[in-house]
Amino acid sequence: MEVLAQYKNMKDYMFQDQRLETFSEWPFDEDSSCNAHKMAEAGFIFCGSKSEPDLAQCQVCLKKLDGWEQDDEPWKEHKKHSPSCLYVKIGKKEADMTVGNYFDLPLERRRNIMKEEYETYRASFIEMAAEVRKKITKLRKLKK
Ligand SMILES: [Zn+2]
């Protein structure tokens, strides 16, 4: 549930203009190759804070990237850090996307959210299992 809630607004960033609006606090100006426009074009939304002022996230693969340099190319960085992302694989500017692309991308995003939710539950289950195992071991020792 936690994971799903975290991404409930992600569908609102399907279009480049919507993503661009999130970059009002982006630390790089228009002269840099990773300016807000190019970040949004490469599928990213800004999700930074005071402690992480250049954190951006792909709206499809959900990969978060920070540590951006003035001359980084957003498309190149996206491809390098998330080569299996469908947005990267399609690799088109918004105007060149097909209707089919616009059906596939939200489905892929949803699949990635489900994958992350599964991983979160799996990790907490493993943690819980370890605790139960400890308790059982303790009880066995008491019994002896
Ligand atoms: Zn991506």
Distances (CA, A) of 96 to 4, 34, 85, 92, 100: 30, 21, 18, 6, 11
Read off the pLDDT band of 3 (50, 70, 90).
Answer: confident
- Phi, psi angles (nearest 5°) of residue 90: -65, -45
Cβ neighbours of residue 97 under 8 Å, at least 6 residues apart? 90
pLDDT in tens, 62-94: 999 999 999 999 999 999 999 999 999 999 999
**pTM attached to this predicted model:** 0.86
The domain spanning residue 130 has which CATH number?
1.10.1170.10
CA of 1 to the centre of ligand 1 (A): 22
Q: Are 44 and 69 in contact (CB under 8 A)?
A: no
Read off the pLDDT band of 8 (50, 70, 90).
Answer: confident
Which residue segment(s) compose the domain that 84 sits in?
2-143
CA of 10 to the centre of ligand 1 (A): 13
CA of 120 to the centre of ligand 1 (A): 19
User: Of all helices (H) and strands (E), which one includes residue 57?
Assistant: strand 56-58
Q: What is the pLDDT of residue 1?
A: 54
The tally of domains found in the chain comes to 1
Read off the pLDDT band of 33 (50, 70, 90).
Answer: very high
CA of 30 to the centre of ligand 1 (A): 22
Q: Which of 57, 72, 48, 74 is nearest to 19 (CA)?
A: 57
